[in-house]
């Protein structure tokens, strides 16, 4: 036996017995008994682990202290029903080869077995969008519990190998706007279990709304330009025909009336031309804003393995 060993069981005990003492964990072990092994070189610890659901697994910690001092138990000196992911049952036995760990009387030892439910990891995370325009930098903060291994899938195919990450709390850069399904798998290396969670991160939503707004405004201004052009054209036609009638009208009253009409049509035509100019200017302005917003969105349609084509999408 080497002088140095892994204090595996002791470390587990330190992690879980504190919770047990403070009442945060329930100890399911009962009827703990100790006795000297047949060969006299070890301690036999017997206990019952009663639980109705026989599929529930338990982590077992053996606690031994001598006159108030906890004995650090070497993993290689413990055998039997101890460790992680054990099923419930009666008359379970742990063997402790104590010559390497203890020199003294067994009667002075206080022995306890702590059995707590094996707890699997629970994946969880928050995120913060650091930039409002592409490329979008997003910071992910890991909130997982009972986990020491992590795997991120950003569903961002354009990022290549950077689409996956094993960092605890990574920062990912998205080149395009869209909705991305971010997946985090949290694992526990001790009990070899894992849990996966998913959140949708929407990037560039404000730009999409801005794009739609400019498209609507351009349509309105374009329609107004067409309408005022028609009004202007009609007014100038009436102005021309009315003025010709005015020039040849012999009756003085009709002459004066025709003069008022052709001048009115002239003013209406001029006003329509001016308004049409404003409308056309706004059409160009909105078109420019649309192009600028589309460039900011960097719209692309890419095939994804979940079926179909996705537009404006970023996935973890």
Q: Are residues 100 and 137 in the same domain?
A: no
Whether 190 and 234 share a structural domain: no
The residue written with tokens 């917003």 in the block is 293
229, 297: one domain: yes
User: Is 172 contained in some domain?
Assistant: yes
* CA pair distance 136, 126, nearest whole angstrom: 16
3-state secondary structure of 182: strand
pLDDT of residue 14: 38
Q: 72 with 55, same domain? A: yes
Which one-letter DSSP state was computed for residue 38?
T
If one counts the domains in the chain, the total is 3
The CATH number covering residue 151 comes to 2.60.40.10
d(CA 7, CA 2): 13
Q: Is 276 among the domain residues?
A: yes
Angle ∠(63,66,68) on CA atoms, nearest 5: 85
Please say which residue of 169, 204, 239 terminates a domain. 204
Both 105 and 171 in a single domain?
no
Query: Do 46 and 112 share a domain, yes or no?
Result: yes
Per-residue pLDDT of the chain (316 residues; tens, 9 = 90+): 334 344 333 334 334 443 443 345 789 999 999 888 777 778 899 999 999 988 888 889 999 888 888 888 877 888 999 888 889 999 999 998 876 666 777 788 899 999 998 888 889 999 998 987 788 999 999 999 888 999 999 989 989 999 999 999 999 999 888 889 999 999 988 777 889 999 999 887 666 677 788 889 999 999 998 999 999 899 889 888 888 888 888 888 888 888 888 889 889 989 989 999 999 999 999 898 888 777 665 543 333 333 333 333 333 3
Residue ending a domain, choose from 173, 204, 235: 204
| Residue numbers of the domain that contains 155 | 125-204
CATH number, domain with residue 73: 2.60.40
As beta bridge partners, residue 122 has 145
- Burial of 43 from C-beta contacts in 10 A (0-12 / 13-18 / 19+): buried
Residues 73 and 16 in one domain: yes
* Shared-domain flag, residues 17 and 113: yes
- Residue 312 is assigned to a structural domain of this protein: no
Residues 216 and 290 both lie in one domain: yes
Task: Quote the pTM value.
Answer: 0.47
The answer to whether residues 13 and 113 belong to one domain is: yes
**Residue 132: how many CA atoms within 13 Å on its side-chain side?**
3
Q: From 62, 83, 117, give the residue that closes a domain.
A: 117
């Amino acid at each position: 036996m080497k002088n140095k060993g892994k204090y595996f069981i002791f470390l587990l005990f330190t992690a879980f017995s504190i919770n047990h003492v403070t009442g945060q964990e329930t100890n399911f072990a009962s009827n703990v008994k100790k006795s000297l092994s047949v060969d006299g070189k070890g301690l036999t610890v017997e206990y019952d682990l009663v639980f109705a659901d026989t599929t529930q697994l338990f982590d077992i910690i053996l606690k031994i202290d001598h006159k108030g001092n906890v004995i650090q138990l070497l993993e290689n000196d413990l055998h039997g029903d101890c460790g992680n992911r054990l099923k419930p049952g009666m008359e379970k036995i742990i063997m402790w080869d104590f010559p390497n760990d203890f020199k003294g009387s067994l009667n002075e030892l206080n022995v306890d077995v702590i059995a707590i439910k094996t707890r699997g990891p629970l994946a969880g995370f928050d995120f913060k969008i650091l930039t409002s325009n592409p490329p979008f930098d997003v910071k992910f903060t890991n909130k997982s519990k009972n986990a020491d291994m992590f795997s991120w899938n950003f569903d961002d195919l354009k990022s290549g190998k950077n689409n996956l990450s094993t960092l605890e709390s990574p920062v990912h850069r998205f080149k395009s706007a869209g909705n991305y399904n971010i997946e985090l798998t949290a694992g526990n290396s001790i009990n070899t279990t894992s849990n996966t969670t998913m959140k949708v991160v929407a990037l560039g939503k404000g730009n999409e709304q801005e794009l739609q707004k400019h498209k609507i405004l351009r349509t309105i201004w374009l329609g107004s330009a067409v309408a005022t052009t028609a009004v202007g054209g009609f007014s100038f036609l009436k102005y021309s025909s009315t003025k010709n009638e005015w020039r040849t009208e012999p009756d003085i009253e009709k002459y004066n009336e025709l003069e008022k009409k052709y001048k009115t049509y002239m003013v209406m035509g001029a006003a329509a031309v001016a308004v049409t100019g404003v409308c056309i200017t706004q059409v160009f302005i909105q078109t420019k804003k649309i192009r600028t917003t589309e460039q900011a969105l960097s719209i692309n349609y890419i095939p994804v393995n979940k079926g179909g084509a996705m537009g404006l999408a970023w996935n973890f």
